[in-house]
Chains A and B, each alone.
Chain A
């Protein structure tokens, strides 16, 4: 929780102004009771009415507020992410002002200047997730001093939403060193895939691009023939992540390893390289920045396993593992 000066546990707290006001109300009450001066009773009833109304208004206003999170497409651990909070006031009577919204995942408090009755407002908010993974947003707290500042009222509301938080990216610029041997490898990959060189021909199937139709062969064979390109190995980076966490290894080490892998993939994608991510039982490919989110999503959700996993990485594969001997990543 990114606490504010007034964040507190419970539902209501008396403010300094409220304490002064309450003290004066008691003093006037005492004076009225003792003197029987009904002019003082008038003042007292106004003050009590104001106090009562303040409580009713702030409670009535907060009670009918609903919150909804919108607009988080991707979030990285440790990096603030912009989102939109949609706040709806269902009250037929009370408009609410000066509402501060706070939740465990928010980078800073969001302020709602005014939510008129029976309206919905959207406000920008900044979230900050500390760890990768699937984060379920559970709650947010509304705070308000409105209307008179006597009480600081809090109401906890459900904040429905799930965010896949990508791993934390390391800041050290070691990508250039890592990528040198990979980028310099110009050997043919000898398998079909995205690239410029023709690898082979095959029959046209529905869905193939017409640009890839080999018109000459199609004309000679009497059926549509399409050409397959050879995967451009020089632009592809193979990354393998071994999820085995040997016993006794701290969880932080595993997270560091995932962060390193994510940083590597991120750098590669940023350099315009294709990335093939090999995980146990699944291989994901991101061509340039397209579908890179799937890779980060996979890295966000990968959980450590406690038994060694069989992995057969290729010669050029960059392996991220905690196995002894090759602790850390190899490149």
Chain B
């Protein structure tokens, strides 16, 4: 029964190793369900019948032979990928080994397969819960390893003995391993892609709520998703000037049949200068900010409006419409720094074109009526912005619009829509007025996390606004009513704090686990060296202070006083010693121990036997002691005589 239990546990460990694959979706559900279904059957067979066989051995061998050609078919035609096909093969091998577990001693091989599944699971997972999985797997693995170790020792000595250690010991070693692992994690070398480039990149499934196009031919969806897209740190003095934040991610400047698109042609790499990528000329108040961003397809960067310099990215590509991206994005998140100013001017003359939106006479008439007598682009844009915000109804969720409509429909008939319609409508009106304008997609708002001091932008904060060319620079306008923009709605205090705590945990995971890289290691090492130096300097200062204190007259005077007081106390204590103690101490010095129940007469008798000469010297003193002890009248002179005589004896002995 013990063997069955162990075998079942071993099969369950194998099954558990593949559990995260359901979440990472590295392989399909069907193979995983088949795998776990087969393992469940094996477990039931072991529990009920004591055997692990599911099919006759000949059939299993036939399947095993077919597995190899199937792998190639799978890789080429079914999964179309080496990873998924390899994982399928390993899943099959794991099941095959499990069915053989009770008949063939293949514990070591099964462990190897389990390891492969474990690697597959963690390699495809970036979620925080992978830590829990690793901990749980390590616990089960330790139990398994300890059992195997025990069995091998028993086999080596040729006899069975007591049961191997189990959960408590595994727990103990798990705690130790976790501590060592936590200490090792920050110091393991991190040099990405030293041998093979381009193996990894941004997760294809990662989303930020930004689409490649704004397609009004299909129903738009506003994401109700609290996934964090970016975290932004900035100094306290910068907050009033740069919040609410606008993180620019995409610029839609070309119009197709009811679709706004981004221009990709003309992408160029920005040359770094001293590690910084300068992209614009600052105008006005300027400050820096740090950004941690979840990357999207194409390595698109989310830069705050007003960014003129970027630092901490491997490279930087600038699109013709002013969107930025990196060519070799890390797997999931990136940390970088930006410099921002209230306004920015292009570094060199920018070729600006009027948008290709087909302005109809009705829209042109509407634009003229809104613009009124104002002539400059900025003042006309301000009037349009104000008009739309006041006279049009904002629908927060795109799906609530309930109909597919063109921008003209929005402007002339429906007069209700979400932020993309407001932005597209304003661009249409500005085009009608003859001013270049474009839609900018990104994230707006940002909630301050009071626990960590950064602003959090979530996927639900996705927003669209407008940039209008004033002749020298692009100026931001947002026709969406201010109070209805995303990232503005207040929450209850408990909810906010719960969200802040949850975000703090997430941030810790993102910052110190997922994105912990070589630069962080260098910083950590530098900080450690600095701390060590400070500590040494502080130690030296403390040592010098102690030396000064030891050499000070006050300290020496105090020390002298204490020594004198101590000596006086010892002398006084000696003087207070009675005659018995004095004699006992002397006898002890000549090798005769006076026990607690001995009389001085008995001690003297021993001295007479061992050292007659010494006994003769001591006899009068013992007589004095007895006279002192037993006479009715106390006489201190006797004690003085004893002390003096003992001192003389000690001197002559020396």
Say if the beta carbon of A97 comes within 8 Å of chain B. yes
Question: Which chain B residues border A72 with CB–CB below 8 Å?
Answer: none
Q: What residue in chain A is nearest B146 (Cβ atoms)?
A: A147
B122 contacts A43, CB within 8 Å? yes
A4: contacting residue among B115, B150, B156, CB under 8 A: B156
Which residues of B (164-193) have their CB < 8 Å from a CB of A?
A: 164-165, 169, 173, 176-185, 188-193
A36 contacts B200, CB within 8 Å? yes
Q: What residue in chain B is nearest A27 (Cβ atoms)?
A: B119
Say if the beta carbon of B298 comes within 8 Å of chain A. no
Say if the beta carbon of A305 comes within 8 Å of chain B. no
Q: Given A36-B517, A39-B123, A111 and B188 touching (CB < 8 A)?
A: no
B169 contacts A38, CB within 8 Å? no
Number of interface residues of B (CB under 8 A): 60
* Chain B 468-498 near chain A by CB (<8 Å), digits 1 or 0: 0000000000000000000000000000000
**Docked complex Cα distance between A21 and B161 (Å):** 26
Say if the beta carbon of B402 comes within 8 Å of chain A. no
B134 contacts A38, CB within 8 Å? no
**Docked complex Cα distance between A239 and B63 (Å):** 80
**Docked complex Cα distance between A17 and B147 (Å):** 12
**Docked complex Cα distance between A212 and B153 (Å):** 64
Question: Which chain B residues border A4 with CB–CB below 8 Å?
Answer: 156-157
Question: Which chain B residues border A27 with CB–CB below 8 Å?
Answer: 119
**Docked complex Cα distance between A111 and B178 (Å):** 31
Question: Which chain A residues border B145 with CB–CB below 8 Å?
Answer: 17, 147-150
B126: contacting residue among A39, A100, A150, CB under 8 A: A39
Shortest CB-to-CB span from A218 to chain B, Å, is 42
Shortest CB-to-CB span from A297 to chain B, Å, is 33
Say if the beta carbon of A14 comes within 8 Å of chain B. no
Which residues of A (1-50) have their CB < 8 Å from a CB of B?
A: 4-6, 15-17, 20-21, 24, 27-28, 31-46, 48-50
Q: Given A42-B513, A109-B157, A114-B162, A146 and B122 touching (CB < 8 A)?
A: no
Say if the beta carbon of A81 comes within 8 Å of chain B. no
Which residues of B (119-142) have their CB < 8 Å from a CB of A?
A: 119, 122-123, 125-126, 130-131, 134, 138, 142
A44 contacts B188, CB within 8 Å? yes
**Docked complex Cα distance between A57 and B142 (Å):** 13
Q: Given A20-B111, A111-B161, A149-B152, A42 and B119 touching (CB < 8 A)?
A: no
A34 contacts B193, CB within 8 Å? yes
* Chain A 277-309 near chain B by CB (<8 Å), digits 1 or 0: 000000000000000000000000000000000
* Chain A 101-121 near chain B by CB (<8 Å), digits 1 or 0: 000000011010110000000
Shortest CB-to-CB span from A246 to chain B, Å, is 46
**Docked complex Cα distance between A91 and B104 (Å):** 39
B157 contacts A45, CB within 8 Å? no
B330 contacts A36, CB within 8 Å? yes
B193 contacts A38, CB within 8 Å? no
**Docked complex Cα distance between A241 and B335 (Å):** 94
**Docked complex Cα distance between A15 and B185 (Å):** 26
Question: Which chain A residues border B196 with CB–CB below 8 Å?
Answer: 34
Say if the beta carbon of A126 comes within 8 Å of chain B. no
Q: Given A42-B131, A52-B180, A36 and B331 touching (CB < 8 A)?
A: yes
Shortest CB-to-CB span from A229 to chain B, Å, is 46
Q: Given A45-B184, A114-B162, A37 and B108 touching (CB < 8 A)?
A: no
A146 contacts B149, CB within 8 Å? yes
Shortest CB-to-CB span from B15 to chain A, Å, is 18
B156 contacts A46, CB within 8 Å? no
Q: Given A38-B516, A43-B122, A49-B178, A97 and B150 touching (CB < 8 A)?
A: yes
Interface of B, helix, strand, loop or mixed by DSSP: helix
Shortest CB-to-CB span from B577 to chain A, Å, is 44
A50 contacts B177, CB within 8 Å? yes
Q: Given A53-B173, A147-B173, A149-B148, A42 and B156 touching (CB < 8 A)?
A: no
**Docked complex Cα distance between A144 and B164 (Å):** 13
Shortest CB-to-CB span from A212 to chain B, Å, is 41
Question: Which chain A residues border B184 with CB–CB below 8 Å?
Answer: 45, 48-49, 52
B185 contacts A42, CB within 8 Å? yes
**Docked complex Cα distance between A51 and B229 (Å):** 38
A100 contacts B180, CB within 8 Å? no
Which residues of A (150-171) have their CB < 8 Å from a CB of B?
A: 150
Q: Given A46-B181, A52-B180, A16 and B108 touching (CB < 8 A)?
A: yes
B153 contacts A31, CB within 8 Å? no
Shortest CB-to-CB span from B18 to chain A, Å, is 15
Shortest CB-to-CB span from A57 to chain B, Å, is 7
**Docked complex Cα distance between A41 and B513 (Å):** 9
**Docked complex Cα distance between A252 and B129 (Å):** 73
Say if the beta carbon of B514 comes within 8 Å of chain A. yes
Question: Which chain A residues border B161 with CB–CB below 8 Å?
Answer: 111, 113
**Docked complex Cα distance between A138 and B134 (Å):** 46
Question: Which chain A residues border B142 with CB–CB below 8 Å?
Answer: 50, 147-148
B156 contacts A34, CB within 8 Å? no
Q: Given A17-B145, A42-B122, A97-B165, A35 and B181 touching (CB < 8 A)?
A: no
Say if the beta carbon of A266 comes within 8 Å of chain B. no
Shortest CB-to-CB span from B514 to chain A, Å, is 5
A98 contacts B122, CB within 8 Å? no
Shortest CB-to-CB span from A147 to chain B, Å, is 6
Shortest CB-to-CB span from A61 to chain B, Å, is 12
**Docked complex Cα distance between A144 and B154 (Å):** 11
Question: Which chain B residues border A145 with CB–CB below 8 Å?
Answer: 149, 152-153
Which residues of A (44-95) have their CB < 8 Å from a CB of B?
A: 44-46, 48-50, 52-53, 57, 95
A46 contacts B138, CB within 8 Å? yes
Shortest CB-to-CB span from A92 to chain B, Å, is 14
Say if the beta carbon of B199 comes within 8 Å of chain A. yes
**Docked complex Cα distance between A220 and B29 (Å):** 117
Which residues of A (184-209) have their CB < 8 Å from a CB of B?
A: none
Question: Which chain B residues border A97 with CB–CB below 8 Å?
Answer: 150, 164-165, 169
**Docked complex Cα distance between A151 and B149 (Å):** 10
**Docked complex Cα distance between A36 and B146 (Å):** 32
Question: Which chain B residues border A39 with CB–CB below 8 Å?
Answer: 122-123, 125-126, 130, 514
Shortest CB-to-CB span from B332 to chain A, Å, is 9
B152 contacts A36, CB within 8 Å? no
Q: What residue in chain A is nearest B142 (Cβ atoms)?
A: A148
B123: contacting residue among A6, A24, A31, A48, CB under 8 A: A31
Say if the beta carbon of B62 comes within 8 Å of chain A. no
B149 contacts A148, CB within 8 Å? yes
B185 contacts A41, CB within 8 Å? yes
**Docked complex Cα distance between A149 and B517 (Å):** 33
**Docked complex Cα distance between A231 and B198 (Å):** 104
Say if the beta carbon of B112 comes within 8 Å of chain A. yes
Question: Which chain B residues border A150 with CB–CB below 8 Å?
Answer: 145
**Docked complex Cα distance between A145 and B149 (Å):** 6
Say if the beta carbon of B195 comes within 8 Å of chain A. yes
| 27 A-B interface contacts by CB (under 8 A) | A6-B156, A17-B145, A20-B112, A31-B119, A34-B199, A35-B193, A36-B192, A36-B193, A38-B515, A39-B125, A39-B126, A40-B123, A41-B188, A42-B131, A43-B122, A46-B138, A49-B176, A49-B181, A53-B173, A53-B177, A109-B157, A111-B153, A111-B159, A147-B142, A147-B149, A148-B146, A149-B148
- Closest 4 A/B residue pairs (Cβ): A149-B149, A49-B180, A36-B192, A49-B181
Given contacts A17-B148, A20-B108, A147-B145, 13 further A-B contacts (CB under 8 A): A15-B152, A17-B108, A20-B111, A20-B115, A24-B112, A28-B119, A36-B330, A40-B122, A53-B173, A53-B180, A108-B157, A145-B152, A145-B153
